[in-house]
Amino acid sequence: MKTTVILLRHAQSEGNLNRIYVGHSELPLSPLGLEQAKVCAEYVAQGGIPRPDVILSSDLMRAFQTALPTALALGLPILPDPALREIFSGNWEGRRFEDIARLYPECFRTWMEDPANSRPGEGESMRELYERIGDEFDRIVETYRGKTVLAVTHATPIRCLHCRAVFGTVDRMGETDWFPNASFTVLESEDGVLREARGGFAGHLSGKMLFVE
């Protein structure tokens, strides 16, 4: 029995716009992000992706704000899921990327060049996130077997699940790109086999609506 999990990266946040590392901290969507969230809702409602039976969201504000227009369009509740949160990044949180590079050069270099072995800000390591988000994905598949689930989450958890589906390991994360804000990644799990049907799709966004950080 096939279970489909559609990962939606939250729309542009004030952190994305101002190049602030947010992690578990709270910053809302930017004005552009609010518009992106509406475009995502329209795309889902028009059948651009399989119609979700369930909507899960990271409990952080920027993810919940992204999920809200789609939930309203489909008449579904948003089920908050803290396990879908972004990586926790300790003393990097709330700092601008340029300041992180200056204050923590070795740690930042590892994050950029060898992400699989990074531990940003002495917080959660990438391998710990890979395990956390992988365990949560398995729980979602088991709980909603045979259904289609929309899970609104963050860049790094999506990157981890992309690696799991495509490579089967976090070790090749350095080969992957960041998917854009408000992009869809479609994963299918059937008989214990995981495949990525669509990765980082942003065809519903155009012009200024497409923001790639």
For the domain that residue 68 is a member of, what is the CATH number? 3.40.50.1240
The answer as to whether 96 is a domain residue is no
Q: Do residues 142 and 156 lie in contact, with contact meaning Cβ atoms separated by under 8 Å?
A: no
**Structural domain of residue 71, as residue ranges?**
3-18+29-88+125-209
- Whether 117 is in a domain gets the answer no
Overall domain count for the chain: 1
Tens digit of each residue's pLDDT, the chain (213 residues): 899 999 999 999 998 988 999 989 889 999 999 999 999 999 999 999 999 999 999 999 999 999 999 999 999 999 999 999 999 999 999 999 999 999 999 999 999 999 999 999 889 999 999 999 999 999 999 999 999 999 999 999 999 999 999 999 999 999 988 999 999 999 999 988 999 999 999 999 987 777 666
> Residue 213: its pLDDT value, please?
61
The active-site residue, picked from 10, 24, 162, 204, is 10
For residue 23, is it within any domain?
no
Task: Supply 31's token pair.
Answer: 């004005």
Assess if residue 195 is contained within a domain: yes
Residue 13 inside a domain? The answer is yes
Residue 159 lies in a domain: yes
Tokens in use for 55? Answer: 């909507």
Residue 60 domain-assigned (yes or no): yes
Respond yes or no: is residue 10 known to be catalytic: yes
H or E, element range at 198: strand 193-201
44 belongs to a structural domain:
yes
For residue 23, what pLDDT is reported? 84
3-state secondary structure 103-124: HCHHHHHHHHHCHHHCCHHHCC
Q: Count CB-CB contacts under 10 A for residue 103.
A: 12
Q: Which of 35, 86, 124, 136 is catalytic?
A: 86
Q: What is the pLDDT of residue 145?
A: 96
Q: What is the pLDDT of residue 211?
A: 62
* Residue closest to 178 by CA, chosen among 212, 137, 127: 212
